[in-house]
Structure 1
Amino acid sequence: MQLEQRIKRRHFLVLFFMTIVWIGLLARLWWIQLGAPHHFSRRGVDLVKGAVKQRQQSIVLHSGRGDILDRHGYAFTGSEHLALILFPLARGSLQGTDGIKQLAKIVGQPPDHLTATMEKAKAPVLLRNPAGKLIVLTEQQSSEVNSLAIPGVVALKVTERYRQDEVAKHLIGYIHQNPSLVQTLYPEEVASGKMNQESTIGASGLERSFDRFLQGVEPSVLSYYVDGQGRPLRGLDIRYSKQENEYYPLSLTTTLDVEIQRRMERVADQVGLHEGSLVVLDVKNGDILAMVSRPAYDQTKVNAQSREWQNRAVKQLPPGSVFKTVVAAAALGEGVVLPTDRFTCTGDYGRYHFSCWKKEGHGTLTMEEAYAQSCNIAFAEIAKRVGAKKLEEYALRLGLSVPVGHTTAHLFKLDGFKQIDGEERGSIFAKEASAQDEGVLIQTAIGQRDVRVTPLQAANLMVTILRGGQPVQVRLVNQISYKNGQSFFRFPVQDLGQPGIDYVTASKLRKMMRKVVTDGTGKMLNDSVWQIAGKSGTAQTGGAGSSANHYWFVGYAPYDEPLYAISAVAENRPSWGQNQAMEMFRLAIDELSDQTTRSSRPRAGNSPE
């Protein structure tokens, strides 16, 4: 009797626990199916979306991001064209038909090219030529393609974010997918469903610095829904989702002039610039008109490890004798040296293995002549009179030890907001170095040892001098606008926040820079179409056994009525052969002169009667 009771009790317990397990499983299935299919597990996995993706083939026709424009409205991003879109399911749709031949005839491409494109495609693709350039269709071609009604083959307007032959790529930057960064930067948007792990964000350039403003509406997507064999589902085969909004996305109007940018990039390529930069600023306000960085890179195929995407115009380098401009400014500003004071150069300082670039020496020369001839010995003596403290002070006044790019953090309440991505600040003395050490001081005087300046800072130095000694922040973006063209925000011209130098000192520096070209190290620029003033610089890279140098020429033109401040830098060049920086500067002036002449001509229909 007791045995039977124990058996019954055991059966009851087994049935009870099995019932509990079944109830738990049913509850779990209910939760997965109905309770939280869009936010399953702690990671918030969207099961519905995942299931749909398994039978959905999609292509983005527009990223939803705002465009980046030049000052005249030219779009560096967002080029809209009619294009042929091929889905992998088209392979089945075209089997046993003459569809390939018909398509090839319409789009003017060999049938073999279309066949190879579809065979390689694992996801929907745009038809491109063998060189990778998008094949743009006419309205008539588009109509003829769509009239074929081939499932998986359609002609529509597609907006490519980047063009392969576009300019200003380092300034524009690129976008990428980075799930962890999306979660870090946009937690509220992720929580609300506006963004997800597949959202693209800015990785460099303006795409990064203005990412929060360029993030606009959801992308426009063309999708085919297919069965397990890749055949379109009847009634649910094709869907086109497009977001319509009167105000978004926002767009950026930059200070760039696309025609000047194109000309400067041609100049860099003409001299064979492998590594370096070319910067052109508007002398009136410090706006960036053009900025070139080399090596070049492809925005659609970025290797983040190669660092080619980095903008070298905002990376710090030893400036060489360009820094003598700061030494001269401090000496003149403090009244410790006059332009007519004389110095003697024998070619060797006598200590610290310090010498002049001219081995036999310059003999006796004035400070003005020493600047024009870039005499190391004379400027070592001048630096000793000025002192390390004043050198640091004047470098700061002239904007060579702080970032010079435009910042507006207090307006947007965004910590660390700045227009120019990746800009470095520059430096004069290293923390561990003794500024009172004479050996350190004289090396600093010629822009070596620990001195670091960005090409952008050097160009802005010219603007500062031309503005009577008052430094400004450099703008790259002038305005943010709504989609309907109304202004969202205008960036004002702003001072750098440093005291600058006095007008008299700035005037003396201008005369000295002119003498560099007429009688000094910049003589090869003396025959340019415009009169030029500036300063050359040659900085040793410092590598063990290295004979490579960084070559600089920084200046402005025309001399009497300045329009442009220019910084040209050729990095890691051999110590012999052509001075690439000076040649680049000369060609840049030729191009700017021609562009200025052309843009000042009356346009057709606007000539005076």
Structure 2
Amino acid sequence: MQLERRLKRRHFLVLLGMTLIWIGLIARLWWIQLGAPHRFTKRGIDLVKNSVKQRQQSIVLHSGRGDIRDHNGYAFTGEEHRALILFPLARGSLEGTDGLTKVAQVVSQPTERLTDIMEKAKAPLFLRDENGRLVALSESQAEQINALSIPGIVALAMTERYRQEEVAKHVIGFINQNPALVESLYPDEWKTGKMNADSMIGASGLERSFDRFLQGVEPSILSYYVDGQGKPLRGLDIRYSKQNNEYYPLSLTTTLDVSIQRRMERIADEVGLTKGSMVVLDAQTGDIRAIVSRPKYDQTKVDGKTDDWKNRAVKQLPPGSIFKTVVAAAALAEGIVSPTERFTCTGDYGKYHFSCWKKDGHGSVTMEEAYAQSCNIAFAQIANRVGGEKLEEYARRLGLSELAGHVTSHLFKLDGFKQVDGEERGAIFAKSVSRKDEGVLIQTAIGQRDVRMTPLQAANMVVAILRGGQPTQVRLVKEISYRNGQAFHQFPLQTLPVQGIDYVTASKLRKMMRKVVTDGTGQAVSGASWEAAGKTGTAQTGDDSQSLNHLWFIGYAPYDQPQYAICVVAENQPSWGRNQATELFRRVVDELADQTVQSSRPHAGNSPE
């Protein structure tokens, strides 16, 4: 009896265990199929999408994101074209037919090329030429192709977000898949499954800083389905999922001018700028008209092992002698030095191994002449009189301790919203360094040691001088708009939250910058189409083994009626040979002068070149 009870008890426990296992399996299956099929596991895997991937292929015809435009309405993020779409899953249906031959005749392509593309393709694609450019179809061509009713081949309108030949790529940025970032930025959407591991998100530039506004609606997707034998499913072979919304996605109207941007990028490539940046600001408003960053990168194939995609114009660098502008501003504003006071330069300071770039010295020079000739010894003496605390104060007054980009205190639950992605602050002294140390001070006076500045800050400092001494916040985006064109939010012009310099000091600095071009280190710019003013700068990189320098040129043009503030930086340049920054600056001024003439002609319009 006792043995029988034990056996029954063991049998009951076995049945109970099996029942619990089955309940657990059923619960698990329920959770997989109904509870979280679109966001399974912590990585947000969409099981529904993955379950049909072997018998379905999809291609995005429109990302669903809002456009990013220049200030005249030109879209940097794509233009709608009719395109030929090929689905590799249709290969089996095309065997033994003349379908590809008929399509090839319509699009004026060799049949062999289309056959080769279909055989090698692993994912659906748009037909492109040998150079990778989209083959745009006419309305008639699209109608002819669709009339053929060939499985897996269709012609439809599509919008390619990133064009290969487009400009301003570092400013626009790119999108990619980043589940961890999606979960941290959009926790509510992640929990509900509205966003998952497949969601595309802004990774850099305006795509990132304005991602919440550009997200908009679901993408428009074209899908092709086959059965288990690879044959098209009747009534379900091709499905088009398109979103129609009067208000979304939102779009951005930037302050950029695509025509100027194209000219600046062409100059950078013609002069041979391999690493560096160029910034062009509106002299009156401080709005960004163009930003160029090099090296180049491909928005559709971003290499995470390099930082080529980073915008060099907002990364801090030692500025070299353009920082003498800050020293001069402090000395003049505080009444410590007059423009005509004389200093003696023998070529050597006498201690700290500090010397002038001109070995024999500049002799007796006024402050104006010292600035024009970029004399290190004279400015070391001036900095000693001014003192470290005042240098730091006037750097702050000229906007070099603040982010130059536009910041909105509160924008739809976003506090301290920054327009410019990845922007770094400037720096004058390291925290632990004494502002009274003479050795530190004289190195600081020539923009070396701990001094750091971004090209955007440098250009904005020029705007402050042109505006009578008050630095602005630099706008990159003017407005966010609904899809129907109505304004969603407008960004006003704003000044930086600092006390600027006085008008008289700003006026003196403008005259000194002009003297740099007429009688000083910037004379190579004197032959430009517009009379210009500026300041040269050479900053050692710290790599003594290669003797490389960062070459700067900041300034403005025309001199009498300034329209643009400009900063160019050529990084890691040899200490010998031509000055790439000076050459770039002169070319920039020439192009801006020509652009102004072109745009003022009747019916010239603002279309890109």
Match of 2:194 in 1: 194
Match of 1:89 in 2: 89
Letter in 2 for 1:175: I
> Is the contact made by 2:46 and 2:197 (CA closer than 8 Å) also made in structure 1?
no
Q: TM-score, normalised by structure 1?
A: 0.96
Distance 1:393 1:430 in 2: 15
Match of 1:521 in 2: 521
Distance 2:28 2:177 in 1: 33
> Is the contact made by 2:45 and 2:196 (CA closer than 8 Å) also made in structure 1?
no
Q: 1:13 offset after TM fit, Å?
A: 5.6
1:594 aligns with 2:600: no
Q: 1:229 offset after TM fit, Å?
A: 3.1
Structure 1 stretch displaced more, 96-105 or 282-291:
96-105
* 1:313-340 deviation digits (Å, cap 9, x = unpaired): 1111111110000000000000000011
1:444 aligns with 2:405: no
Letter in 1 for 2:551: Y
> Is the contact made by 2:44 and 2:179 (CA closer than 8 Å) also made in structure 1?
no
Match of 1:362 in 2: 362
Match of 1:570 in 2: 570
Q: 1:385 offset after TM fit, Å?
A: 0.4
Relative to structure 1, the CA distance from residue 17 to residue 393 in structure 2 (aligned partners, 3 Å threshold; closer, same or farther) is closer
Relative to structure 1, the CA distance from residue 182 to residue 586 in structure 2 (aligned partners, 3 Å threshold; closer, same or farther) is same
Q: 1:19 offset after TM fit, Å?
A: 5.2
Structure 1 unaligned spans of 5+ = none
Number of positions where the alignment pairs a residue of Structure 1 with one of Structure 2: 605
Relative to structure 1, the CA distance from residue 9 to residue 570 in structure 2 (aligned partners, 3 Å threshold; closer, same or farther) is closer
Q: 1:54 offset after TM fit, Å?
A: 3.6
> Is the contact made by 2:410 and 2:416 (CA closer than 8 Å) also made in structure 1?
no
Match of 1:501 in 2: 501
Q: 1:39 offset after TM fit, Å?
A: 5.7
Match of 1:55 in 2: 55
Match of 1:474 in 2: 474
* 1:359-408 deviation digits (Å, cap 9, x = unpaired): 11111111111111111110000000000000000000001122110001
Q: 1:254 offset after TM fit, Å?
A: 0.3
Q: 1:22 offset after TM fit, Å?
A: 4.7
Distance 1:176 1:372 in 2: 48
Match of 1:246 in 2: 246
Match of 1:285 in 2: 285
Letter in 2 for 1:115: T
Q: 1:3 offset after TM fit, Å?
A: 5.7
Relative to structure 1, the CA distance from residue 22 to residue 169 in structure 2 (aligned partners, 3 Å threshold; closer, same or farther) is closer
Q: 1:50 offset after TM fit, Å?
A: 3.1
Relative to structure 1, the CA distance from residue 590 to residue 23 in structure 2 (aligned partners, 3 Å threshold; closer, same or farther) is closer
Distance 1:324 1:388 in 2: 13
1:203 aligns with 2:203: yes
- Let me know the Cα RMSD of the aligned residues: 1.9
Distance 2:568 2:40 in 1: 56
* 1:213-254 deviation digits (Å, cap 9, x = unpaired): 000000000111222233222232211111110000000000
Distance 1:86 1:416 in 2: 46
1:353 aligns with 2:353: yes
Structure 1 stretch displaced more, 86-95 or 57-66:
86-95
> Is the contact made by 1:327 and 1:382 (CA closer than 8 Å) also made in structure 2?
yes
> Is the contact made by 2:39 and 2:193 (CA closer than 8 Å) also made in structure 1?
no
Q: 1:78 offset after TM fit, Å?
A: 2.5
1:545 aligns with 2:519: no
> Is the contact made by 2:57 and 2:223 (CA closer than 8 Å) also made in structure 1?
yes
Relative to structure 1, the CA distance from residue 102 to residue 439 in structure 2 (aligned partners, 3 Å threshold; closer, same or farther) is same
Q: Helix, strand or coil for the counterpart of 1:417?
A: strand
Distance 1:38 1:144 in 2: 38
* 1:262-298 deviation digits (Å, cap 9, x = unpaired): 0111111111111111111001110000111111111
1:77 aligns with 2:77: yes
Q: 1:97 offset after TM fit, Å?
A: 1.0
> Is the contact made by 2:83 and 2:157 (CA closer than 8 Å) also made in structure 1?
yes
Letter in 2 for 1:569: V
Letter in 2 for 1:191: K
Structure 1 stretch displaced more, 187-196 or 390-399:
187-196
Distance 2:41 2:524 in 1: 70
Relative to structure 1, the CA distance from residue 79 to residue 507 in structure 2 (aligned partners, 3 Å threshold; closer, same or farther) is same
Q: Helix, strand or coil for the counterpart of 1:58?
A: strand
Distance 2:20 2:551 in 1: 79
Relative to structure 1, the CA distance from residue 599 to residue 94 in structure 2 (aligned partners, 3 Å threshold; closer, same or farther) is same
Relative to structure 1, the CA distance from residue 362 to residue 476 in structure 2 (aligned partners, 3 Å threshold; closer, same or farther) is same
Distance 1:496 1:9 in 2: 81
> Is the contact made by 1:79 and 1:162 (CA closer than 8 Å) also made in structure 2?
no
* 1:164-221 deviation digits (Å, cap 9, x = unpaired): 0000000000000001111111011122333221010001000000000000000000
Distance 2:421 2:359 in 1: 42
Distance 2:578 2:298 in 1: 29
> Is the contact made by 1:70 and 1:254 (CA closer than 8 Å) also made in structure 2?
yes
Match of 2:335 in 1: 335
Match of 1:135 in 2: 135
Match of 1:490 in 2: 490
Letter in 2 for 1:234: R
> Is the contact made by 2:286 and 2:475 (CA closer than 8 Å) also made in structure 1?
yes
> Is the contact made by 2:408 and 2:415 (CA closer than 8 Å) also made in structure 1?
no
Q: TM-score, normalised by structure 2?
A: 0.96
* 1:34-87 deviation digits (Å, cap 9, x = unpaired): 565556566665443432334221111100000000000000002211111111
Structure 1 stretch displaced more, 580-589 or 221-230:
221-230
> Is the contact made by 1:346 and 1:363 (CA closer than 8 Å) also made in structure 2?
yes
Structure 1 stretch displaced more, 104-113 or 275-284:
104-113
Distance 1:44 1:83 in 2: 32
Distance 1:595 1:280 in 2: 13
Match of 2:557 in 1: 557
1:390 aligns with 2:383: no
Distance 1:11 1:360 in 2: 104
Distance 2:463 2:16 in 1: 85
Relative to structure 1, the CA distance from residue 175 to residue 384 in structure 2 (aligned partners, 3 Å threshold; closer, same or farther) is same
Structure 1 stretch displaced more, 122-131 or 377-386:
122-131
